Amino acid sequence: MHEHGDFRPHDQTRAELPAADDVDLRQVDRWLRVQLVPNLRMMPRRKQRPPAIYLHPGEWVRWRINYRSSGTCSCGQDWSYRLDTLSLGHGWIATDTFLTQPTYVVDERAVLR
């Protein structure tokens, strides 16, 4: 959602791999190792990170992380804020699976000043 778009929600559902600079994915035997890659241009820097998640086929993870950045945006504010939620499943799963309780939840949201 964006302020300039009256905070209308938008989402994407893709049956493809996310970009390598967004998520580190590695196949380990039958498991999929998932590690979110934080945006290094945004604050706060995270010194302590949660461990990677290992998904079995049919499992999924919901990973949340938030950021702030400085600099005047087009909306006239000095700070902008961002919340990313990654919902990622291993193998073939129905898209409505993401409306259910995830197998794993990782919450990297920080207090933003």
Q: What is the pTM of this model?
A: 0.79
Q: How many domains does the chain have?
A: 1
Q: Is residue 46 part of a domain?
A: yes
| 112 belongs to a structural domain | no
pLDDT tens string 21-69: 889 999 999 999 999 998 777 787 778 889 999 999 999 999 999 998 8
Q: How far apart are CA 102 and CA 95, in angstroms?
A: 12
Q: Is residue 31 part of a domain?
A: yes
**For residue 33, is it within any domain?**
yes
Backbone angles phi, psi at 56, to 5 degrees: -85, 160
Average pLDDT over residues 77-103: 88
In a domain, 113, yes or no: no
Q: In terms of residue numbers, what domain contains 31?
A: 3-107
Checking if the pLDDT of 19 tops 70, the result is yes
